[in-house]
Amino acid sequence: MLAGQLEGRALQADAEALLVAVFCRSLDTYCASLTLAMDGYGTQAQMLNRSLFEDMVDAHWIATDPDAAIERYEQHAEHTTMLLADVVRKYTDIWSDVEIPQLDDARRKELDALYGPYGTAPWSKLNIYDRVAAIEHMWPDEATRRQLHLYRDLAQRDNNQMLHLSSSSLRATLAWPRPRGRIEFQVGPRTDRVDVALFGIFWTFAQTVGLMIDRFGCTMDDDERAALFSMRAFVTLTDEQMRDTGRNESCPCDSGLKFKRCHGA
Ligand SMILES: [Zn+2]
């Protein structure tokens, strides 16, 4: 559906091409992460969710500061070329016939200062805290901004711990605490962490899709938007709450919507 929307409207600025590129990348990551999670590889899906969250944040950052995004994109591409030239210079036996372009030392220093001599800084030059601070105004109210912060502070931290070798990622492999005198290692598909991964996949990608819908046009009323993109989609009500809540009462999930427009729909 969204692909159809995008086809219908020409891109109006270079930054929009960047935005769509990030979205296409995210769509593939979303599908890949979903496949892993559904196959029982929740931890590996979380590793992809880290990228999904970074892309979601970057997409919002491109939308909120398109001129800076284009500038950084071009600077970063230039710096990447310089770093690749370093590699060619280091391994001349492999690439003896590659001609290295003449590089401007002053420019190199300038770009090293932005992205680090080994290119370790993000292409936007902003860490995740600065990027979230730059985009948080795009979430409409305090409650949804809190979701964004909570995801970064908790879920993304967990995603990071799974991606890198950490006590958490090791603990996920080593069954712990173990019965005395016995060590167990977990290998192969399993159900734990699948729910965590699925939550990350859906919540994060919903934020990116919401941005694209806003940007490229798709009419939704406030209730539909709230129903689709809020955390309440992940709240399960008890049988009693479902039975005892009137259709016109506020939904017990705290979405702020009437029950009939929320869990009672
Ligand atoms: Zn609800």
Tens-digit pLDDT profile for residues 161-185: 988 888 888 887 877 666 677 778 8
151 alpha carbon – ligand 1 mean position (Å): 20
Select the more confidently predicted residue: 227 or 138: 138
What Rg do the C-alpha atoms of the chain give, in angstroms?
23
143 alpha carbon – ligand 1 mean position (Å): 15
Element (H, E) at 212: helix 194-216
For 7-63, how does the pLDDT look when each residue is reduced to its tens digit (9 = 90+)?
556 777 889 999 999 999 999 999 999 999 999 999 999 999 999 999 999 999 999
Nearest residue to 5 via CA among 216, 208, 220: 216
153 alpha carbon – ligand 1 mean position (Å): 24
Contact 199, 155 (CB under 8 A): yes
pTM of the model: 0.80
130 alpha carbon – ligand 1 mean position (Å): 32
80 alpha carbon – ligand 1 mean position (Å): 47
255 alpha carbon – ligand 1 mean position (Å): 6
